[in-house]
Amino acid sequence: MHIPDNWVLLKFTCNGEIIYKVFAGWHGNYLEGDSWKLNSGINKIEEDGEYYLFHGYSGSVYRCHKASYGMNYFMVEIFKSFERDITIEVLPNNLKFLNLL
């Protein structure tokens, strides 16, 4: 299970197909730098108190605290580097995530 420090949901649109993915980030320290992951795509969303559980196509689970929604500086820079041959949209925090799928 992945438990990120910061996270956002991204909506990928390519050739009319829509895929939702978790873009997650972790804060580093003086020995290791910041890190990030982009999940394989969401196929199930659950709510667990103050957390969302996003289940990916690959079997991974991201446990994301509702109050940690957003990108840190490192994540913003990585996001800027994503390929732009497809449409990528950051979804707003007030969206009802459980209703996406």
- Is residue 100 included in any domain, yes or no? no
Domain tally, the chain: 1
Length of the chain (residues) = 101
Position 101 in a domain: no
Look at the pTM and tell me if it is higher than 0.85: yes
Read off the pLDDT of residues 54-88 as tens digits, 9 standing for 90 and up: 999 999 999 999 999 999 999 999 998 886 667 78
Q: Do the domain assignments include residue 99?
A: no
How far, in Å, CA of 26 to CA of 51, rounded?
A: 16
Quote the pLDDT of residue 20: 96
Question: Cβ–Cβ contacts within 10 Å for residue 21, how many?
Answer: 21
Is residue 98 situated within a structural domain? no
Q: What value, to the nearest 5°, has the Cα angle with vertex 50 and ends 45 and 53? A: 20
The residue range of the domain holding 16 is 6-91
pLDDT tens readout for residues 13-27: 878 889 999 999 999
Return the beta strands (E) in 1-101 as ranges: 6-14, 17-26, 35-38, 42-48, 51-56, 61-65, 87-90
Of 45-49, 80-84, 89-93, give the range with the top mean pLDDT: 45-49
Flag whether 61 is in a domain.
yes
